[in-house]
Amino acid sequence: MSTTTAVLGGSGYLGGELLRLLSTHPDFALSAVVSTSRAGQPLEAIWPNLPGNRLVTSADAKDLNVDLAFLAEPAGEAMKQVPALLESGTKVVDLGPDYRLRDPEAYARAYGQPHLDPEHLAEAVYGLTELARDSVRGARLVANPGCYPTATLLALAPLLRAGEIAGPVIVDAKSGTSGAGASLSPGTHHPEAALTVQPYGTPNHRHVPEMEAAFAALTGTNPSLVFVPHLIPVVRGILCSIYPALADAADPSRWPALFESAYGSSPFVHMGSTPRLSWTQGTNLCFLSLQRAGDAPVLFSALDNLGKGGAAQAIQNANLMFGLDESTGLRQPGFGV
């Protein structure tokens, strides 16, 4: 029997990627696409790559009557809808930031507004799938990680857990323009973003509190973090170059074995040579590489910000929540070039 599914926020880039992946998912049957800004329009008017006669609605969360809801909405929206969804028996994967930080005061500092649902904030599972499979399986509310935290945490978690890193950790991150969302803004407008590289989000990017909290919760450590993101003139993809300060007893010769132990059976995390963004685009894959720069170790992490950094990881989590193989509907290869 198919799992009835709704996508709230279906007109944004993450919503569109969810709809693309769900269109071929064998177990999740799309029942509703919700968008307040595009309600009443046919889906193909918003996403011509998804032909069909389905109408986008502005239905209230309490009226959806579905088994599963994906929320791909800006900060502040999911926490207004999650209580009604959970009360109706719907399981939820929130792709926005509303349930990633367990501390409501930390959320208020990062997003400039109070958290309206502290009860369910405490319940939410932080869904970095490879590090939280067992918790995700039993969850009814999963907070899908941000794109930068997914790339950074997958690269660092095995080393942090083994006590190999003392900090500070320097993360030089570069992202495609789709990470800024579908709404126009001067900094991401094509004439501003094309043919250049722009650092942004300093001194305090919103994903830093999320990463610091996840370090503590998932690895029991809290290294100092220097995080500098950059916007690059591509549409999809994140590439992080990560420079960790080693603990006194660190032994980088052990690191390949640590990564093999952590991810050897994971279908979506691949260790190998220096990654390219084209390998990741359209996929749920994260490519990791361990190399050296002079005498110092350097880690590379690459993924699709809309895929493993967003919609595809959300489906990976939902698969586990409904007792499916985590790779169901997510076996698409990358572009390659």
- Give the residue numbers marked as catalytic: 147
Angle at 237 between CA 234 and CA 239, to 5 degrees: 105
State the maximum Cα–Cα separation within the chain, in Å, rounded to a whole number. Answer: 62
Q: Side-chain half-sphere of 315: how many Cα atoms within 13 Å?
A: 34
Query: Which residue type does 169 have?
Result: V
Pair 230, 172: CB distance under 8 Å: yes
273 C-beta neighbours (distance < 10 Å), count: 9
The tokens for 43 are 């889906």
Cα gap 231→162, rounded to integer Å:
32
Cα gap 13→72, rounded to integer Å:
9
The tokens for 89 are 């028996």
Cα gap 175→162, rounded to integer Å:
29
* β partners of residue 206: none
* β partners of residue 42: 55
The tokens for 42 are 């046919």
- For residue 78, the surrounding DSSP H or E stretch is helix 78-87
Q: Give, as one character, the DSSP assignment of residue 234.
A: -
Pair 55, 294: CB distance under 8 Å: no
Q: Give, as one character, the DSSP assignment of residue 136.
A: H
- For residue 301, the surrounding DSSP H or E stretch is strand 296-303
Pair 274, 255: CB distance under 8 Å: no
